[in-house]
Amino acid sequence: MAKANERPDATPRSEDVFVQTTVFLFSVALGMATVVVPLVATASGYALGAVGFLIATSAVTQIAARAGMGVLMDRFRTRSFVLASLVLLAASCVVLAVSQAFWAFIVSQLLQGAARAYFFTGAQTHVVRGPRAAVAALARMNITNGVGLLIGPLIAGLVGAWSLTAALWIAAAISGVAVFAGAFLIPYEPFTKPRQQPGITTRPMWQRPGVVTAGWMGATAGGWRGILNSYLAVLITEAGHSIPVAGAMMTLANLAALVGSSLATPLRRLGIGNSTLLGTVLAAGGTAAMALLVPHLALACVFLVLSGVGGGILQTLGPALAAESVGSEERGRSIASVGTFRAISLLVTPMGIGALVFVLPSPAIATAIVAVALGVPAMVSRRSAPGDN
C-alpha cells in the first residue's frame, strides 16, 4: 500500500481500470442529471429565472464541501470521498424522481452539489498521487469524464423525451453501480499535515501565486459549466428546439471539453499565461456568442464547441498548476482550493444570470454578459502566475 505522500513506481493496470470506470459511470449519471433537472423544473411550472436559482443551490454545498476538504483529507482517504460522492449523486436523483415539490428540488441540488465537490476534488487528488505527471493524469481523467458526459446527455435526451422521471431513476442506478468500481481504488492513506517552521508565516493556500491563478482558471471553467447546467437546455427549448436537441447540444459541449482536455498537455508547453489566455477567450467569448445565437442552431453549435474547448483546457490545467505549485503533502489542499473557486462560480453564475433576466429584455443577453465577465479575473491573474519550468 502506498503511503500518504508517496507515489507508487507504477500504477497497476487494475487501478487504471477501476479509476476510469468509476469516473465514466459518475459522469454518465451526472450528465443525465444536468440535462434532466432544469427540464423537470420548467415542466413543474418554474419560470426561467427561478430555474437558475434552483440549480445554483447546488453550489452552496459545493462551496462548503470543497472548503472543508483540505482539512478532511488529513483524516480520510481520498477514496472515501469518491465513494461518498457516488452515494450522494444517486440520492439526489432519487429524491427528485420521487417528488417534484419545491423542497425536493432544494434537497436534490444540495446533495448533487456535495457529490460534485467530493467526487472531482477527491478523484483529481487521487490521480495526481499516482506515477504520472499532474497534467497527464488529470488530462486522462478529464477525457474519461468527457466521454461519460457525452453519453449521459444523449441518454437523458432520448429517455427524457419519453419520461423525465425514468431518466432520473436510470441516473441513480448508474451512480449506484459505480460504487462497486470505486471500492477497488487504491486506498491511499490520508495526507500528512505539513509542519510549520517556527517564525515562518505561510500564506493561505488560496493566496499563493500558482494556486490563485489556477483558482481563477477553475472559476472560468466553473462558470462555463454553470451556464450549461442551468440555462443551456432551457435556452435551447425556449428557442423552439426539441428536448433531444438540447441533449445533443449538451453532448456536443462535453465533446468539445474532452478535446480541450486532450490538448492541455501540449498547450502546457506554451506557458501558463498563454494557455490561460487561450482557454479563457474561448470559454468566455464562445459562451457569450453561443447564447446570442441560439435561434441559429448551426452558428450556436460552432461557438458552443469553441467554448467547450476553452472550458476543457482550463479545467485540466487549473488543478494541475495548483498541484505543481505546492509540495506533495499539500496537493490535496491546493486542488480543494481551486475547487472552491469553481464552486463559488457555479453559484454566482446562474444567480447572476437569474438576476439580470429580470432587468434585461432577453435571457440570452444576460447569459452573454455574465459569460464575458467570468473571463476578466483569469485574464488579470495570469500575469502573476509563477514562471514555467
| DSSP characters over 271-295 | -HHHHHHHHHIIIIIHHHHHHHTTT
User: What is the average pLDDT value for the chain, to the nearest integer?
Assistant: 82
**Per-residue pLDDT at 3 exceeds 60:** no
pLDDT of res. 198 = 46
Note the pLDDT of residue 175. 95
At 384 the pLDDT is 56
The grid cell for 244 is 433531444
State mean pLDDT over 42-64. Answer: 77
Confidence of residue 316 (pLDDT cuts 50, 70, 90): confident
Residue percentage of the chain with pLDDT more than 90 = 23
Q: For residues 17 and 94, which has the higher predicted lDDT (pLDDT)?
A: 94
- Cα distance between residue 73 and residue 146, in whole Å: 26
pLDDT class of 78 with cuts at 50, 70, 90? confident
Q: Exposure string (b/e) for 152-179, b if CB count within 10 Å is 16 or more?
A: bbbbbbebbeeebbebbebbbebbbebb
Average pLDDT over residues 3-26: 72
Residues 157, 300: Cα–Cα separation, whole Å: 19
Least confident of 181-185, 238-242, 291-295: 238-242
Q: Please give the average per-residue pLDDT across 307-312, as a whole number.
A: 92
* The pLDDT value given to residue 307: 94
Mean pLDDT of 287-296: 90
CA-closest candidate to residue 144, choices 265, 21, 31, 229: 21
Quickly state the pLDDT bin for 74 (edges 50, 70, 90). confident
- Proportion of the chain above pLDDT 70, given as a percent: 88
- Does position 30 have pLDDT exceeding 90, yes or no? yes
Say how many C-beta atoms besides its own lie within 10 A of residue 180's C-beta. Answer: 13
Residue 91 has pLDDT above 90, yes or no: yes
Query: Which of 65-69, 105-109, 217-221, 373-377 is the least confident region?
Result: 65-69
Please tell me the pTM assigned to this model. Answer: 0.74
> How large is the average pLDDT for residues 250-256?
84
pLDDT given at position 200:
37
**In the block, residue with C-alpha cell 478535446:** 259
CB-count burial class (<10 Å; 0-12, 13-18, 19+) for 75:
exposed
Question: Which position has the higher pLDDT, 308 or 214?
Answer: 308
d(CA 97, CA 109): 13
Give me the pLDDT at residue 262, please: 85
Of residues 175 and 160, more confidently modeled: 175
Report residue 205's pLDDT band, with 50, 70 and 90 as the boundaries: low
For the chain, state the CA radius of gyration.
Answer: 19
